[in-house]
Structure 1
Amino acid sequence: MFSRTLLCVSLSLVALPSLADTVWLKNGDRLTGKISLLDGGKLLIETEYGGSIPVKWSQVATLESNQQLLIKQDDFTGEVAKSMQAADDGTVVLNNGGAAHTVKLASISQIIRPKPLVHDLTWKGNVDVSLDYKRAETDTDDYDVSFKNSARHGLWRHNATANYNREYRNDVTSTDNWDAEYALDRFLDEHWFWQGRLEYKRDKIEDVRRQRTVGTGPGYQFWDNELGAFSLATLFNRSDYEFASGNKEDFYSLAMKWNYNRYLVGKTFELFSNGEIGKPLENVADYQLDAEVGLRYKVTDWASLNMKAEKDIVSGAESNKDETRYSVGFGVGW
């Protein structure tokens, strides 16, 4: 029994390398790991010995993989290959379940791992921190921390975000606010989902001191893959405002939320934007906008530099709010 177990373990260890993807370069080098994606002329390979390694697509001679990959030759032509086999330099053999055929590497513009309806746990998120110290006629200290987290299991997706902003001018607090949101998505199929969310905002300086929002509505996931994700949700909200004067307002509104991110140049850069624009159903305010857009530069597998712009508007309310913030900072992701 012991010898049989030892034999099985030995065979498993011998078979492990064959499960890895292999990339041959034109200079004769060979890389083994797991192909993550091809985009922007960079092939990203996940390795145990060097993390994620970007390789210039023009330097790849051929490659092989046993994983299922979406191969795109242009914006309209693409196929899901069950495996890729090495071929002559500058070519690769695609096997999609039918007759295998050879294509030129130069004709391939993208390689993406297909992401079907998720049946296991996936978890991703990031924390961004920015600090700004300015010493001049007006001394300014600015602190900005943001947290974003998303976890999905089967047909359910949990989304949590939080932000904290504080600014001092000549040792006097000029900005002091924080907000938190939790949203739960229930997917109806691969794209459509229904969302319920809770949000709370607290501001100790601006006229809108407290804001509480409860909402629900349908959403649509346009895509969610190795290159990024984009979703829209239309919500019916109930909001409660409390102003610095002590007055309170509660009203219903219709809103649209978006969540977008796109990786560029082999995941070296990430363009992202998320926010919400809403229109009250009563004559309380003209509209509300809370949005951010930014860019991250990946320094390591987990660390990044970021810069972003945030806009927060409440127009037509008892006391209008129009605030714009710009920040540059450091972040970690997972």
Structure 2
Amino acid sequence: MLSRTLLCVAIASASTPLLADTVWLKNGDKMTGTIKVFDGGKLLLNTKYAGDVPLDWKEIKTLESDQHLLVKQDATTGEISKSLQPAEDGKVTLANGDAPKTVELASIQQIMKPKPVVTDLVWKGNIDAALDFQRAENDTDDYNIAFKTSATHGQWRHNAKGEYNRESQDSLTTTNNWDAEYSVDRFLTEKWFWDGRITYKRDTIEDLARQRTVGTGPGYQFWDDELGAFKVGALLNRTDFEYSNGEKDNFYSVSGTWDYNRYLIGKKVEFFTNGEVGKPISGVADYSLETEVGLRYKVTEWASLNLKAEKDIISGSDNGDLDKTRYTAGFGVAW
């Protein structure tokens, strides 16, 4: 009797379709899958037949989901809906027990799965590593490890990045440096933000041994969604240089920054570039440039292969210029 009951349950379970979220489009199409996030004008729907599919929010008629989702209609507040129910064109009903509420799709700024503590926290980042060991007439060891991460909550965005480089040949170290940076952005509007940052760099080989920079200034976020992001900024900086011979310089400078990434080929490939170009207000140097550009190829949901080129320039310094180019290939993880 028990085995017969279990068999009936198994047959019923197999014949019952799995619950899925549904999106109705204005052109009459209907798509099913799992809603992952809505941000930056794009709804990301995960489907079995096409993976992650970004949908233009303006082309959506209504939608349905049985997930618990955080729905935000402004930058600071939101409510956790037990489910989303379809409504008339251009609207959706937030089902919260006895008090369902129908809202305009145009009024929604974000939809995401709620986090247990900070419900609207969006955390993303990556770690890349490149290692090269050669044992021949000349033995070489090369290491490069870099990380970059950001966490957004309400009108605040915290950013951090760092990198370590070391190269040696026949036990002689030719490159040994590391750097770290922390910045915080306070959004003033949906696009404009104010940036404050601090950077420290250490090099045990080059003439310029230490760099410390504190900067602040406005920035503009062109977009930030599941297909990529692009922001620029302008900074007023205070920089301290310390050279290997003990001499020191400190000066103020102005600089421009950029940070761009774009996912291609169904989010399998990511192109990215970021950097900063600066001009000292005094005559301590002509200009400085720090930039990187590269590609990542996603092997799994979290693992990737990467190619990267980096360029560091300080030109016109009385205590020695810096001009370094580095190419790396390696692996990484992303979240």
- Shared fold, TM over 0.5: yes
Q: Within 5 Å, which residues of 2 pair with 1:138-149?
A: 138-149=138-149
Contact 1:115–1:225, Cα closer than 8 Å, also in 2 = no
Distance 1:156 1:301 in 2: 27
Counterpart of 1:291, as a letter, is T
Q: Within 5 Å, which residues of 2 pair with 1:91-170?
A: 96-97=89-90, 116=110, 120-170=120-170
Q: What's the CA shift string for 1:20-41, capped at 9, x where partnerless? A: 569xxxxxxx97433779xxxx
Q: In the alignment, which residue of structure 2 is the partner of 1:236?
A: 236
Q: Within 5 Å, which residues of 2 pair with 1:60-75?
A: 69-70=55-56
Q: In the alignment, which residue of structure 2 is the partner of 1:101?
A: none
Q: What's the CA shift string for 1:104-130, capped at 9, x where partnerless? A: xxxxxxxxxx96599811000000010
Contact 1:36–1:46, Cα closer than 8 Å, also in 2 = no
In structure 2, which of residues 19, 32, 39 is the aligned counterpart of residue 17 of structure 1? 19
Aligned-residue sequence identity (percent) comes to 55
- Partner SS state of residue 189, structure 1: coil
Distance 2:111 2:184 in 1: 17
Shift in Å, 1:19:
3.2
Q: In the alignment, which residue of structure 2 is the partner of 1:331?
A: 332
For residues 70 and 178 of structure 1, do their structure 2 counterparts lie closer, same or farther at Cα, with a shift above 3 Å needed?
A: same
Find runs of 4+ consecutive structure 1 residues off by over 4 angstroms.
114-119
Shift in Å, 1:260:
0.6
Is there any run of 5+ residues in structure 2 with no aligned partner, and where? 1-15, 25-30, 65-87, 92-107, 113-118
Q: What's the CA shift string for 1:243-271, capped at 9, x where partnerless? A: 11110000000001111100001100000
Is there any run of 5+ residues in structure 1 with no aligned partner, and where? 1-13, 23-29, 38-42, 58-67, 72-78, 86-94, 99-113
Counterpart of 1:70, as a letter, is D
Q: Within 5 Å, which residues of 2 pair with 1:1-334?
A: 17-19=19-21, 32-34=33-35, 46=46, 54=50, 69-70=55-56, 79-83=58-62, 96-97=89-90, 116=110, 120-317=120-317, 318-334=319-335
TM-score normalised to structure 1 length: 0.72
TM-score normalised to structure 2 length: 0.72
Distance 2:170 2:63 in 1: 63
Distance 1:212 1:324 in 2: 21
- Partner SS state of residue 138, structure 1: coil
Aligned length in residues: 266
For residues 229 and 115 of structure 1, do their structure 2 counterparts lie closer, same or farther at Cα, with a shift above 3 Å needed?
A: farther
